[in-house]
Structure 1
Amino acid sequence: MDREQEEIQFLGFFGILKESYNIVSSWRKIFTQITLFLILPLSFVYLAHLQISEIIFKKIMHNEYMLEWTPEGTRIHDRVSHMLRSEWTAFFLFKIGYFVFFIVLALLSTSAVVYTVACIYTAKEVTLKKVLSVVPKVWKRLMVTFIWNFIIVFAYMIVSLLVLVLGVIVLGPIRILGMVFLVVFGIVYLIGLLYITIIWHLASVVSVLEESYGLNAMSKSQGLIKGKMGISAGIFLVLGIFFFGVEHMFKMLVVFGDGIGGRIGFGILCLVLMSICMLFGLIAQTIIYFVCKSYRHENIDKSSLADHLGEYLGEYVPLKSKDVQLEQFEV
């Protein structure tokens, strides 16, 4: 990042995307290495789980159909029923294993990219070896932040479900009002989910670059995002659309596609596109952090930030909170 901090606050939607591209192109080697070691495996795990889930689920649906048309009490019925229980168990165990593995890789990738961008910003030397040595230490902080985000999202979904059920019960008999309620509820629900997602991603950056993590990091990110919510939401929406677009393309051309050669080719293409999307998303969220800091006139002391980054490597004594926090300055 070769811009002065006063200029960063003026970066808009396209400015943040352009800055992300400039960082990748200027530091192509380190980001290529991070992509190959962390982000590419992360993308592969995500896409592979779509394919494997479809294979297992297809078998389950076939056996469900067989069970429905098989007389109860027969040997075939008992055998199919036993297979179904085994397949459902395998399906849920696979989902749990995938979720844990995906989250671990996602947090490691986030740690690596945020740390690398911050090193670039502070003109601190960064190598893959150094990044990989820091990642496990930063990952622990991110895990705490993620767990709290998971709790918040879970509570949000429970409350939303209760509101939805209550609304359907009350307004269901009135068809027009019921339809209006469902549309409004859907819009509000998605906006709320997007807001929580933005807060979480920014909190991930806070967890790496400041002392705060967990609920404190999410509280700080909530304050930081004020004034830049529109731009941040726009960037996350575009990246989200691209992400789910690649996912849909993978499902259509690979999971449900025809021909081994074509499926392999499109699978590789989707893997590359998904990796690019994830990399740009992580870089963009880090830049958004600096933009928000600058917009709120919170000066980032590069030397203190560099010391904080070096602390992960044991290069510096632990800093006090006042040293890591970003001081106010007048514009």
Structure 2
Amino acid sequence: MDRTEDDMKLVGFFGIFKQSFKTVFSSKKIFAQITLAFILPLAIVFIVQMEISHHFFWKIDNNTLPYDSNDSHEATALDWLYYALFTIAYYALLTFFSVLSTAAVVFTIASIYTTREVVFRSVMKVIRKVWKRLLITFVFIYIAQFIYEVIGSIALAIPRVIFDYSSLGGVVVMLIILIFYVYGFLYLSVVCQLASVVAVLENIYGFNALKKGKDLTYGKKKVGMGIAFVLYGVLVCLIVVYLLLVEYGHEVYEFALVWRVVIGILCGILLLVLFLMFIVTQTVLYLVCKSYHQEAIDKLSLSTFLGAYTGETVVYPRPGAEIQLGSPQPPCEHV
């Protein structure tokens, strides 16, 4: 990153994407290693979940759709038990690799920002030191998302009782609710993404990281939501293409197996790039938000803080004091 702290606060929607791609291409080796080690398993878990859910839990998936009223495919109690166990295993693996990926990418970008040399060995050291507080932050993120999903489900269920979704009025009401739902989802996503970066680069985690992420969105909320909209839009398009051309390609388009395999591999590669860009853009957005709020990140202080992760120096903040990047640093004892 060749931008100064003052320049970062002027970076907008396109600038964040440009800076993200520039950062990745400037350090292709380390990002390739991180992608193969952590993001590839994350993508595999994501794809396997879609396949297993589609082939083994289609009864539950069909009956959980708001418009489905077909009782001929009622799932049994045993189906729900298997589905619950599978969901727990899926989220456990998803969280595990998400924590590893986030810690690795955030540390790498912060090191590049401070012109520190970063190697894969130092990335592994960082993961061992930050995974616990990042995991706690992810738990609070899941809680916030669960509460939002419950509220969204209730908001969709109430009009369904009052209106018939097959009528024009019901469709209009549903569209209005969906617009508000998507808006809230994008905003919550930005807050959660910033919170995960805060958990790595500051001595804040859990609920306090979410609060800090919310504070950082002020003034850059539209930019963050725009980035999230584009990335999630690409993700949805990839899923649709995968389902239409790979999963149902032999039924709908009569694609040969070789073409389905090729398209599936291309979708997998794009998914890897997309997952990487999710974390890279959220880290660059964090740096932009910090600069926008005049919490100028002193590169020397950040470099010292990152060095504590890799064992170059041990930093002991005073009791009750936190290392807040961009804020006056408390006196520290170095060993």
TM-score (norm 2): 0.84
- Between Structure 1 and Structure 2, which shows a larger proportion of helix residues? 1
2:183 corresponds to which residue? 191
Report the CA distance between 1:52 and its aligned residue.
2.3
CA deviations on 1:192-221 (whole Å, 9 max, x unpaired) are 111111100011011111011111111111
How do 1:163-178 and structure 2 match up within 5 A?
163-169=155-161, 178=170
> Alpha carbons of 1:189 and 1:36: their partners in 2 closer, same or farther (altered >3 Å)?
same
| Kept in 2: contact 1:50–1:251 (CA 8 A) | no
| Percent of aligned positions that are identical | 38
2:135 corresponds to which residue? 143
How do 1:160-309 and structure 2 match up within 5 A?
160-169=152-161, 178-258=170-250, 259-309=256-306
Q: Secondary structure at the match of 2:2?
A: coil
> Alpha carbons of 1:171 and 1:325: their partners in 2 closer, same or farther (altered >3 Å)?
same
> Alpha carbons of 1:157 and 1:52: their partners in 2 closer, same or farther (altered >3 Å)?
closer
Write the distance in 1 (CA, Å) between the matches of 2:170 and 2:267.
40
Write the distance in 1 (CA, Å) between the matches of 2:263 and 2:164.
44
1:73 corresponds to which residue? none
> Alpha carbons of 1:3 and 1:192: their partners in 2 closer, same or farther (altered >3 Å)?
same
CA deviations on 1:221-244 (whole Å, 9 max, x unpaired) are 111111111111111111111111
Write the distance in 1 (CA, Å) between the matches of 2:147 and 2:322.
34
CA deviations on 1:88-144 (whole Å, 9 max, x unpaired) are 543432232122101211121011100100011112221111101211322211111
Q: Which amino acid counterpart does residue 31 of structure 1 have in structure 2?
A: F
Report the CA distance between 1:86 and its aligned residue.
5.2
Report the CA distance between 1:12 and its aligned residue.
1.3
1:92 and 2:92 correspond: no
> Alpha carbons of 1:58 and 1:199: their partners in 2 closer, same or farther (altered >3 Å)?
closer
| Kept in 2: contact 1:60–1:84 (CA 8 A) | no
2:22 corresponds to which residue? 22
Write the distance in 2 (CA, Å) between the matches of 1:275 and 1:143.
22
1:77 corresponds to which residue? none
Report the CA distance between 1:58 and its aligned residue.
5.5
Write the distance in 2 (CA, Å) between the matches of 1:164 and 1:48.
29
Write the distance in 1 (CA, Å) between the matches of 2:87 and 2:227.
29
Write the distance in 2 (CA, Å) between the matches of 1:43 and 1:257.
21
Structure with higher RCO (Cα < 8 A, 6+ apart): 1
2:317 corresponds to which residue? 319
| Kept in 2: contact 1:250–1:270 (CA 8 A) | yes
- Give aligned pairs, total: 310
1:64 corresponds to which residue? none
Report the CA distance between 1:171 and its aligned residue.
6.2
> Alpha carbons of 1:162 and 1:271: their partners in 2 closer, same or farther (altered >3 Å)?
closer
Larger Rg: 1
1:57 corresponds to which residue? 57
Write the distance in 2 (CA, Å) between the matches of 1:112 and 1:243.
22
Write the distance in 2 (CA, Å) between the matches of 1:223 and 1:100.
29
1:44 corresponds to which residue? 44
2:113 corresponds to which residue? 121
Report the CA distance between 1:37 and its aligned residue.
0.6
Q: Which amino acid counterpart does residue 203 of structure 1 have in structure 2?
A: A
Write the distance in 2 (CA, Å) between the matches of 1:241 and 1:280.
13
1:31 corresponds to which residue? 31
| Kept in 2: contact 1:202–1:285 (CA 8 A) | yes
Q: Secondary structure at the match of 1:298?
A: coil
1:9 corresponds to which residue? 9
Write the distance in 2 (CA, Å) between the matches of 1:58 and 1:130.
44
| Kept in 1: contact 2:201–2:325 (CA 8 A) | no
Write the distance in 1 (CA, Å) between the matches of 2:32 and 2:135.
25
Gaps of 5+ in 1: 62-66, 70-80
Write the distance in 2 (CA, Å) between the matches of 1:151 and 1:214.
11
> Alpha carbons of 1:53 and 1:157: their partners in 2 closer, same or farther (altered >3 Å)?
closer
Write the distance in 2 (CA, Å) between the matches of 1:171 and 1:247.
31
Write the distance in 1 (CA, Å) between the matches of 2:278 and 2:7.
22
> Alpha carbons of 1:263 and 1:59: their partners in 2 closer, same or farther (altered >3 Å)?
farther
Write the distance in 2 (CA, Å) between the matches of 1:87 and 1:215.
35
1:109 corresponds to which residue? 101
- Range with greater deviation from structure 2 (318-327 or 289-298): 318-327
RMSD: 2.7
